[in-house]
Amino acid sequence: MLQGNALLYTVTLLTAMGFMLIGYDNGVMGGIINEKPFQTTFKHPSDSLLGTIVAIYEIGCCAGALVCAAVGEGLGRRKSIMVGVVLMLAGTAFQAAVSSSGPMIAARVVSGLGMGFLNSTMPVLQSEVSPKAARGRFVCFQLSLLNLGIMVAYWVGYGFSFSSGAKAWRIPVALQAIFQVPILVLVLIVPESPRWLASHNRPDESLQVIARLHGKPVTDTDVLMQHKEIQDAVMLEASIGSGSWKELVTGRDDDIKSRKRLLIACSIQFFQQIGGINALIYYAGNFLALVSSSPALLAGGLFTWFFVASFIPWFLIDSLGRRKLLLSCIALMSLCFVVETVSVWKVQTAKSKVAGGVATAFLFLFMGLFTTGFQAVVWVYPSEILPLKLRAKGSAISTACNWITNYAIVQMTPPALTALGYKFYIIFAIINASFLPPIYFFYPETKGLSLEEVDLLFSRHHAQTFDQAAEDAKATTNHFEYGNGAAGVDDIEDKKHAIA
């Protein structure tokens, strides 16, 4: 039976394969939709229809996330992942086999439903088993693999662009299964999240899983400390009704600000998509065609850089912190869009090669800033910020916000580019700048805090700054590798005797 680091790394491999799948799915259509084989199979779809074929996947993802919000907490983390990967396998086979736009749209909806389950659940599972001091780095590892998936998708699309016939797009689509099959195998090996077990009246199983993650016996003090902390959090949230739909929709917010925390989780996912990243990822070929005679090759280089840049936050997210990364990188991202607007204007009006080079350089810079300061944080922050009883629902709802906004951006990008030209980019400059005030005033720093300590941070923030509350949260508890114990020594000794 896996335990200790071997178990932790197996869970990380499971979630990492899921993130690679997210990346590959995000990138695969962008690598094939502008190529002749795809255009021929689907009879040269209009900009509107092409936008629907690409973006309907996001509608499926949104619907899957909402279904997961309703049933995911009852199913648990493992079963939710199983449901998601089975749906995705079916959707992949369906996509690779169709030859007209209607069935392709249906197939992408099915795949999207599965991704909605995976995307809602995997960050939660990872955050609930990762040691708090390195939780950000574990998610950054997944982020790098997400970007690796995008990079692989674009290079696969580029490689098959030299092929003739429908196989040039069918094989890249079918290759999604390379990531899906290992997920199905690994989810059968790993245990359920200890925090989910504790919140569903299975404390003994929770204790066993915590011990396995530590690689220590169930009587070990560190194991018992973390177990008691989780149990205390479960009892606190049960006593105040945290996580119930009624409490979220009606009445006042509870004592640990569950509703406010849900709004923060949803807003950061909304910000990520409305800022324009997927307008660039899905339609990089369209943009690069303005400034290069080899847009497919340049797109491959862009997403290779996107993957390489994703290693930068590995060294920053748990030291510099979430807030500073967000604020500094988003400010520079807004500036990048200002430069893109001017550069694309010069390209379109004066055919300036220099402006084309500047536009390309700042596109590379934007992608590096996005993965360093925004993409890294957005996958770790919602799961950190949400209380335990709300974590599955809240993660699913925030993920639905991500996908429905993604859909809107991807659907409107082709006609907007045609209608607005260079003016399209100034919109995103303004939107990105508008993110800075709410992040500055309402987003707390969560680096170095256990998931349970975040409850303390929010329960006290009305009287202190978030930074001071975070320091106090750390100071009031002892630090252990996987969590902080609030239990007294006598409590732990009593429990040791009970287990013995």
Q: What is the DSSP string of 42-61?
A: TTS--HHHHHHHHHHHHHHH
Contact 333, 160 (CB under 8 A): no
Angle between helix axes 5-32 and 135-160 (nearest 10 degrees) is 30
Is residue 63 within 8 A of residue 91, CB to CB? The reply is no
Mean pLDDT of successive 10-residue segments in the chain (500 residues)? 87 90 84 85 87 86 90 92 96 94 95 92 85 72 84 85 87 94 94 91 93 90 89 77 59 74 91 86 71 75 89 85 91 94 87 86 92 83 80 82 85 82 89 95 85 75 51 50 41 45
Cβ-contact 341, 422 below 8 angstroms: yes
Vertex 475 angle, CA 473 and 479, to 5°: 95
**Model pLDDT, residue 3:** 85
Instruction: Return d(Cα 300, Cα 150) in angstroms, integer.
Output: 9
Distance CA 236, CA 389 (A): 10
The radius of gyration of the chain's CA atoms, rounded to the nearest angstrom, is: 23
Structure tokens at 145: 């693999």
Contact predicate 112/61, CB 8 Å: yes
* Domain residue limits, the chain: 5-195+251-442
pLDDT of residue 492: 42
In whole angstroms, give the CA distance from residue 500 to residue 496: 6
- String of DSSP letters for 92-125: HHHHHH--SHHHHHHHHHHHHHHHHHHHHHHHHH
Q: Per CATH, which fold does 5-195+251-442 belong to? A: Growth Hormone; Chain: A; (1.20.1250)
pLDDT of residue 493: 46
Contact at 8 Å (CB) between 76 and 196? yes
pLDDT of residue 481: 43
Estimate the crossing angle of helix 177-186 against helix 5-32, to 10 degrees. Answer: 160
Whole-prediction pTM:
0.75
